[in-house]
């Protein structure tokens, strides 16, 4: 096992909206990492994003990051890490970061546009063969902040969950509304879930299973 195989980086820098759920989410990810035998480092210091700094990690989790996060050198280092097989998990507001960086848009898969108020809705499980959805049934009713995206992530990703807009008010993407997906088009594995706004989500078994499965996928466990 290489040094990077058993380390996970959680990055939660925000220069826009900051979610109250970040501490609870980071604590949950530490638990998931321990279960996989991974040490977990949490930071909001973009200075870690150098070739040598990133080489220590099997995967990087962007935990409700928002706004502009990096200078050009850090962006270049992160692109190199991913092209060389590094792995990525984006959680909830990760799709609200780095709007001016096209590579990041391709990595996360879609850009956040808007959301209605927090409410319950029903999701459909599009693919149960992924670790993040394997423990779910055919549908999942959940309360969260339902993101609309500027565009459908499209055929370039493997859609895992969609939300049924007929089960809540204010959705704006229509009949096909992806909520979680993955891809491997940039070198390593990439996963994104729009779920994870409420603090209490990180204590709920179904959501914990979903996020733990994403981490397992990213580190290749």
- List per-residue pLDDT tens for the chain, 221 residues long: 344 568 999 999 999 999 999 999 999 999 999 999 999 999 999 999 999 999 999 999 999 999 999 999 999 999 999 999 999 999 999 999 999 999 999 999 999 999 999 999 999 999 999 999 999 999 999 999 999 999 999 888 999 999 999 999 999 999 999 999 999 999 999 999 999 999 999 999 999 999 999 999 999 86
Please give the distance of CA 126 from its chain centroid, rounded to a whole number: 17
Residue ranges per domain, the chain? 3-219
Nearest 5°: the CA angle 77, 78, 84 is 90
By the 10 Å C-beta count (0-12 exposed, 13-18 middle, 19+ buried), 34 is classed as exposed
The CATH fold assigned to 3-219 is Rossmann fold (3.40.50)
CB–CB of 181/192 below 8 Å?
yes
């Amino acid at each position: 096992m290489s040094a990077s195989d058993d380390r996970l980086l959680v990055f939660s820098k925000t220069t826009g909206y900051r979610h109250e759920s970040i501490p609870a989410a980071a604590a949950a990810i530490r638990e998931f990492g321990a279960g996989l035998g991974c040490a977990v480092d949490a930071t909001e210091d973009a200075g870690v994003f150098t070739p040598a700094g990133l080489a220590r990690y099997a995967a990087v989790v962007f935990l409700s990051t928002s706004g502009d996060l990096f200078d050009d050198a850090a962006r270049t280092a992160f692109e190199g890490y991913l092209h060389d097989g590094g792995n990525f998990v984006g959680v909830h507001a990760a799709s609200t970061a780095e709007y001016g960086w096209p590579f990041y848009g391709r990595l996360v898969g879609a850009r956040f546009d808007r959301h209605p108020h927090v409410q319950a809705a029903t999701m459909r499980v599009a693919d149960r063969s992924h670790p993040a959805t394997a423990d779910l049934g055919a549908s999942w009713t959940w309360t969260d902040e339902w993101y609309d995206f500027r565009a459908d992530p499209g055929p370039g990703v493997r859609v895992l969950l969609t939300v049924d807009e007929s089960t809540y008010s204010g959705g704006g993407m229509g009949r096909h509304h992806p909520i979680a997906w993955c891809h491997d088009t940039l070198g390593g594995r990439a996963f994104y879930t729009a779920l994870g706004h409420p603090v209490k989500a990180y204590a709920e078994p179904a959501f914990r299973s979903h996020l733990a499965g994403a981490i397992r996928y990213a580190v290749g466990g």
